[in-house]
A and B are shown apart, each in its own frame.
Chain A
Amino acid sequence: MEVTIKAAGVLLNYMPGKQGSLALRLEKPMAVKDIVQQKLGLNPAVVVAVIVNGQRQEKDYIPKDGEELFLIPPVSGG
């Protein structure tokens, strides 16, 4: 199965090759937090949640084949 990871903002600095969009092949279904850790080599703590099909999902969401995942960065204002 394949999913596409999209990132922007502060997270872009830490994406492999600073790419805003990455297509990933997965051997088996995985939770978002595991994809972030194992496939992107990132601490899952840098991601707050994901947007899938316009809906917010938590990091334990298991994406389906072909889905696009937008990583939500932590906000820094206040």
Chain B
Amino acid sequence: MLYGYGGSILRVDVGAKSYKIEPLDPGMAQEYIGGRGFIAKILYDELAAGIDPLGPKNKLVVSTGPLAGNLAPAGGKTHFGALSPATGGYGDSNMGGIFAAEMKYAGYDAIILEGAASEPCYIYIEDSKVEVRDAGKYWGKGAIDAEKMLKDDLGEEFQIAVIGPAGENLVKFACISHDFGRQAGRTGLGAVMGSKKVKAIAVKGTQGIKMADPDAALAKGKALYQACFAKPFIKEWEDYGTAGVTTWANEIGAFPTRNFLTSQYEGYQKLSGKDMRERMVITDKACFGCPSPCGKYSRAVGQGYDVYVEGPEYETTAMVGGGCVLPSLEDIGYANYVLDNLGLDTISGGVVIGWALECFEKGIITKDQAGRELQFGDVWSVAYLAEKIAAREGIGDILAEGVKAAAERLGQGSDYFAIHVKGLEWSGYDSRNAPANMLAYMTCDIGAHHSRAWAITHDLAVGPEIIEGKAKRVVELQHIRPMFDMIGTCRLQWVELGIELDAYSDLFKAITGMDYSLDDLLKRSERVWNLTRAVWIKHVPGFGRAFDYPPPRMAQDPVASGPNQGKFLSREALEQLLDEYYQVRGWDRNGIPTEAKLKELGLDNVAKELGLALAEKDPA
């Protein structure tokens, strides 16, 4: 008997309009835990090399972990994964909200969408009742608008994951949205959903979840909640959410500004979390079971707009605000709303639009091509480009491919300032004076993303000039943070409030009955990290070290102004970081996991398959 889990996997063939409910394999639960662990396992096992990420053979996996929907604080994380249309490699992204708990209550630890429909549809799930329904009336609607329509039609108790027009039109940084402002934003998974013609997944569950030791789970869960409430800085976190870091990121020179030309926004004080709280926030908004709500529901009012939006989060403030140099929090809030409703990831969207604005300044994109004048600091330029991208109209069709592909298409040196790793646009921390954080971006298993190993405080504490030893900390973080993505809870109670990691393994034990220590869980996290690397190797020809470098501006341009003016990491430093990282990981100098490492992690089949695949690619 599996405790803590929904117990089943729902597999839907959207083209055939058929489905199967499979029992969750206890071995998979024990070895991969859940969430991104399940996603990595399913994608590695089930996707053939050479498939098109936007073709019917790709699979969209929705998964959560055993602590979600249970008595764990903030057990509300839903993970989505597929072969990424943005990068061609492993892709996953997660969101908060209520969807994870609801799918568990319907009995599912994972939902796998296969095939592709010929007409727009949505997946209706009410416990074991599953239907592929017509979505003609929702197709073409904004993500926020369509979620409202579905709630009105199905009932408030249904939880909805939905795409906007960007996903329908296969924009490679389209997101999946939920709860009117939560997004699985990264790696273009909205486009995978759109390629299957699936507008939404609607789920309602009425079942319970059996726990191994309910009394212990209640006691430990309650103690964790009380520990969160007792933290003196919980108020700071609740007041400002992630926007609380904007001022700090500017003070230390890490705030991406003007398409990463510099790392401090002139006049950044007016973008502070305090200002946002005082001027825009209407109420706090929490995910399922969260003791420390960081979501901020705001009203943005400016000349020509008046909208309600969840946010802006720090990342949106950085990438849409700083990256495009928008002059006010209100403008950022409006742009946030536009991108959210179109179903565009605000991180990638901000980078792509910032890059396009610089291209316009440099004459690489002309007024004729753009269809109008464009400029940094102009919210209407941002909104205009977002709409063109989502509709794939004019210049938007090129930009919809993501910054790497768009730069390859437009040429004229524009790849120099196209900021991405592996094809995924860089998120909100300039790392030219932060080697550990730079390495975290270089080696993140989905591309340039911060959440797998946010190491910038380590750089500040240990010293930004130090290179040696940074890889060890990055690897530790790459196991700790993704562990949360396996158990199904938010990590913020650990990293922001200071809840001890051991508390999570204790609660895991009480809920699942699996007698795993923290180290046991982290070892599984390491296994998943190696498996996601294997997905890259399997699907991307020639994958290896060459894919782990930052783009030219981030690698060799000195920061233009601010506290890190003139700083950048030398080529030697980048090489040393990678050498040490591969060594700590037990990978070879090309960044390929060694057979010994894979076997140590119980990935014998992967060792064998990768060995064969690499031998085929390089017979010598």
List residues of chain A with CB under 8 Å of any chain B CB. Answer: 6-14, 42-43, 45-46, 48-49, 51, 54, 56, 70, 72-78
Contacts and interface: CB of A to CB of B under 8 A. Distances in A.
B460 A45 contact: yes
Given A13-B461, A14-B461, A77 B492 contact: yes
A48 to B, nearest CB: 5
19 contacts: A7-B498, A9-B496, A9-B497, A10-B457, A13-B458, A14-B457, A43-B460, A43-B461, A54-B232, A54-B235, A72-B233, A75-B244, A75-B496, A76-B496, A77-B242, A77-B313, A78-B242, A78-B427, A78-B428
Given A9-B495, A51-B232, A75 B314 contact: yes
Contacts of B313: 77-78
Given A45-B460, A75-B242, A8 B231 contact: yes
Interface residues of B, number: 37
Contacts of B458: 13
Contact of A73 (B294, B315, B457): B457
Contacts of A14: 457, 461
Given A45-B460, A49-B236, A8 B498 contact: yes
Counting from the closest, the 10 A-B pairs by CB-CB distance are: A8-B498, A78-B315, A9-B498, A78-B314, A76-B454, A14-B461, A70-B232, A77-B242, A75-B245, A51-B232
Contacts of B364: none
A52 to B, nearest CB: 9
B101 to A, nearest CB: 20
Contact of A12 (B233, B252, B498): B498
A8 B234 CA distance: 12
A7 B501 CA distance: 16
A56 B461 CA distance: 22
A77 B460 contact: no
Nearest to B96: A77
B238 to A, nearest CB: 12
A45 B247 CA distance: 12
A55 to B, nearest CB: 10
Contacts of B242: 75, 77-78
A54 B232 CA distance: 7
Given A76-B450, A76-B496, A78-B315, A42 B461 contact: yes
A51 B236 contact: yes
A74 B428 contact: no
A46 B496 contact: no
Nearest to B462: A14
Nearest to A9: B498
B251 interface: yes
Contacts of B427: 78
Contacts of A11: 457
B318 A78 contact: yes
A62 B597 CA distance: 52
